[in-house]
Every structure is written in structure tokens, then in C-alpha cells.
Structure 1
Amino acid sequence: MQGKKTSESRTIMTDIVLPPDTNYHGTIFGGNVMAYIDKVASITAMRHCRRQVVTASSDSLDFLSPIRTGEAICLEGYVSWTHHTSMEIYVKVEAENLLTGERRLTSQAYLTFVALDDDGKPTTVPPVLPETEEERWNYKTAAERFEIRNKRRKLTKQRFKKEK
């Protein structure tokens, strides 16, 4: 299967944060940020494999800086690594002051998506070809994240079996 450049799946989304999107601190609800991340990652994954996809996992999400009412939320996602049927998607979230143009990193996440065939079964995905220095770094460090996810999943399954 021929590889696809990272730029072929890159997804960028921007929205303005309005009062209904925020908590009593005037900052965006964390759940809204999580939904945006999942949406961008879904589009990114589908662009890469041109198949239906499902979210398999989401790594921890740290909120580094709040996004306030009136600022823009800016998300950028791309496929950072692929396995046989799965894709790791990196999503960066920034806040933009629309009056000054200043941007700051507010969070970032790695999600895993699985491609599905017409019968809803996992199917192979094309390899990813990183292009920039950041993409190459994410690609090089992905195997370690993959192993951590697998260990976490196995431990969770074992614990769940014991609790039954």
C-alpha cells in the first residue's frame, strides 16, 4: 500500500468561543474542547484512509491554558503514525486573541482511530509519510506511545475481569 503525506490528512478548524460555550469563569468547557478534538481527529483519520473510522483511544489531555470568551479556538490535526489498521492522530489546540493575533498553546492530544471496511471490520490503512520536523518527531516517538497504550489496555481488561 502506498504511503500518504501528512499534509494530505491535515485538518484545521477554527471557531469563536461565545458565552454559551463557557463556564462561570468565562472559559470554554473542557468537554467542548474534547469534542472539538475528537471531531478534528475523525476528519483527519478519514482523510488519510478514505474509510469509516472509530475512536479507539484518547491519551491524557492536559489543559495548559484557558480559552476565554471572545477568543478563537484553533485546532490542527494530522496523522502522526500508523499501524496495521490503526492511526495515531495528533491534535494541537491553540487560543487566538482575534484583536492582537497572539496565539498560545492550550492543549494537545494523541488519539487512536481504527479504519473499518464495508462490513464494519478493521481494515488496513496506508502508512504515513511525515514531512516537517515536528511530524518526524511525532512519528519517531509514536511506537513508544503505542506500547504504553497497549499496556494500559491490557491492565484495564485484566482489572475489569477481576471486578466481575
Structure 2
Amino acid sequence: MTSLSETLIENRYRVQPNHANNYESLHGGMLMKWMDEVGAMAAMRLAGESCVTAGVTELDFQQPVPIGEIARIEAYAYDTGRTSVRVRIRAWVEDPRTGEASLTTEASFTFVAIDAEGSPVEVPDLTVETDEERERRTAARDAER
């Protein structure tokens, strides 16, 4: 079995002009794409299979990410179904010079594990063992409400 901590993935992207909207900040669709990619990696860590996006819940944009800043994205699995994995995904705007960061976006994604033919396959159970893992799971579940 895989622990919640083993599914934790974090990635950073420097926002370039080709990622921007008319307001010189990261286009929301680009951020969603990056969140989907990082979330899928977290789901695959748990499933041990390829995973595809099945749904998105509560995608909330709280502030923009300007050109030249960094979009830091964190994802981890927090629940499973028979063939599905629930992943909490959060993004921060991060100053590349200081590392100062503030939360910009939160969401929960559902991924389905698939085999080589594209058919859904069962996923293993997720283990939650440490206090930090329990806190992360609780925060993810609370964010859905």
C-alpha cells in the first residue's frame, strides 16, 4: 500500500509571456493544465497505472500569478474509490527571488486508473499513518464541503 506522503508531488513553472492572458498574468486555463498534470502524477504514484481526469471540484482562483513569477503546484492523493483516486491540488504564486509565496488556487480532482487498453482498473488502498498525513486528508475533505 502507498502512503499519502508517497503521493505528494510538487512542481514549479516560471510564468512566461506565452502563458499569459490580456492582463499580463497566468491564463487560468494554463494553470488548470499544470494542476491537472501534477495531479495525475500524484494519482499515478498511488495507482501504479496511468490515470485520466474524471472530474474537478471547487476550482477556486483567489489571485493572479503575474508574468515573471513562479506558479508552485502541490498535489497529493487523499481518498480512493474502486478505480478512482481523489487528489487535492493547490497552487501558490512564488517570488523567484525571495521564495515568498501566497495561495492562489485550490481544487480537488478525481482521476481514474486505466490499463494499456484504456479500461478502468482497481487502485490499491491509500494508507494514512502520520499526524501530518491525517491533517492533509482532513484539510482535503473539508475543502470539498
| TM-score, length basis structure 1 | 0.79
| TM-score, length basis structure 2 | 0.88
Which position in structure 2 is the counterpart of 1:25?
A: 23
Structure showing greater radius of gyration is 1
Which position in structure 2 is the counterpart of 1:51?
A: 49
Contact 1:61/1:108 (8 A) holds in 2: yes
Compare 105-114 and 43-52 and name the one that shifted more.
43-52
Which position in structure 1 is the counterpart of 2:82?
A: 84
- Identity percentage over the alignment? 32
1:65–1:134 Cα change, 3 Å: farther
Q: How does 1:27-42 map to 2 (within 5 A)?
A: 27-42=25-40
Aligned counterpart for 1:114 among listed residues 112, 115, 118: 112
RMSD: 2.0
Which has the larger strand fraction? 2
Which position in structure 2 is the counterpart of 1:134?
A: 135
Which has the larger helix fraction? 1
CA distance in 1, matches of 2:60, 2:117: 36
CA-CA distance at 1:116 after TM superposition: 1.5
Segments of 5+ residues of structure 1 without an aligned counterpart are 149-164
CA-CA distance at 1:100 after TM superposition: 2.5
Runs of 4+ with >3 A deviation: none
Q: How does 1:7-18 map to 2 (within 5 A)?
A: 7-18=5-16
Q: Give the total of aligned pairs.
A: 142
